[in-house]
């Protein structure tokens, strides 16, 4: 999922950093399904940081977009499972229909006040140049919403109310596929890497 970030001027970021310790955006990813509304994770994009040893010279990001990757549990839990020749957990789903829709409550501008500040006790992963893998579960069907807020990583405080982005992604349909050669495949123990190397897909 790739989405646009609000654009603030360099002076705005400097003011937010000096006055509130804000360094960028806090991102909350939510998944809504027919069963429940679940937070899949919290992430941060650093937009401003001072040059080491200086409080007057800043490095300011010009990022206009951010990306998050939501994966099936069979490939998201560990790189070991992701590199198996056959999917773990008897996973056989393939996404068949997906669309981007407009949120009825999504907005572009929002107001903030001290009462909106809240400590984030959950783990917050920094979005940088390395890819982030998010466990979407055994099924990815549902609606995915992105909420943004200003963030102070030192205090782990959300410094504003959340802003739900105007668009959301819907996974409408999944199909179950039979993968030839994987009918009797058994996931090897973590210590037993040889069985993975010897297994030939399709045999």
Mean pLDDT, residues 183-197: 63
pTM: 0.80
Q: Which residues pair with 32 in a beta bridge?
A: 37, 143
Q: What is the percent of the chain with per-residue pLDDT over 70, rounded to a whole number?
A: 85
Residue scoring higher pLDDT (49 or 195): 49
- Asked whether the CA dihedral 101, 103, 104, 108 is positive or negative, the reply is negative
| Contact (CB, 8 A) for 49 and 23 | yes
The domain limits of the chain are: 2-198
What is the three-class DSSP state of 130? coil
Q: What is the pLDDT of residues 110-127, one digit of tens each?
A: 556 777 889 999 999 998
pLDDT at position 201: 42
Give the burial string for 12-24 (b: 16+ CB within 10 Å, else e): ebbebbeebebbb
Q: What is the pLDDT of residues 132-160, one digit of tens each?
A: 789 888 889 999 999 999 999 999 999 99
pLDDT at position 199: 42
Half-sphere exposure of 46 (CA within 13 A, CB side): 15
């Amino acid at each position: 999922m790739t989405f646009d970030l609000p654009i603030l001027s360099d002076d705005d970021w400097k003011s937010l950093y000096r006055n509130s310790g804000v360094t960028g955006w806090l991102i909350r990813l939510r998944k809504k399904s027919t069963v429940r509304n679940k937070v899949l994770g919290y992430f941060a994009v650093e937009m401003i940081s001072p040059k080491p040893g200086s409080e007057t010279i800043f490095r300011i990001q010009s990022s206009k977009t951010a990306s998050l990757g939501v994966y099936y549990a069979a490939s998201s839990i560990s790189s070991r499972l992701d590199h198996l020749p056959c999917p773990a957990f008897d996973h056989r789903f393939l996404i068949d229909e997906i669309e981007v829709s407009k949120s009825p409550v999504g907005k572009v501008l929002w107001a903030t006040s001290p009462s909106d500040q809240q400590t984030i006790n959950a783990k917050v992963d920094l979005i940088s140049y390395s890819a982030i893998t998010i466990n979407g579960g055994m099924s990815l069907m549902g609606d995915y919403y992105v909420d943004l807020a200003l963030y102070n990583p030192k205090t782990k405080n959300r410094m504003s109310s959340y802003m739900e982005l105007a668009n959301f992604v819907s996974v409408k349909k999944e199909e179950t596929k039979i993968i030839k050669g994987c009918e009797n495949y058994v996931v090897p123990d973590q210590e037993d890497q040889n069985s993975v190397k010897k297994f030939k897909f399709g045999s």
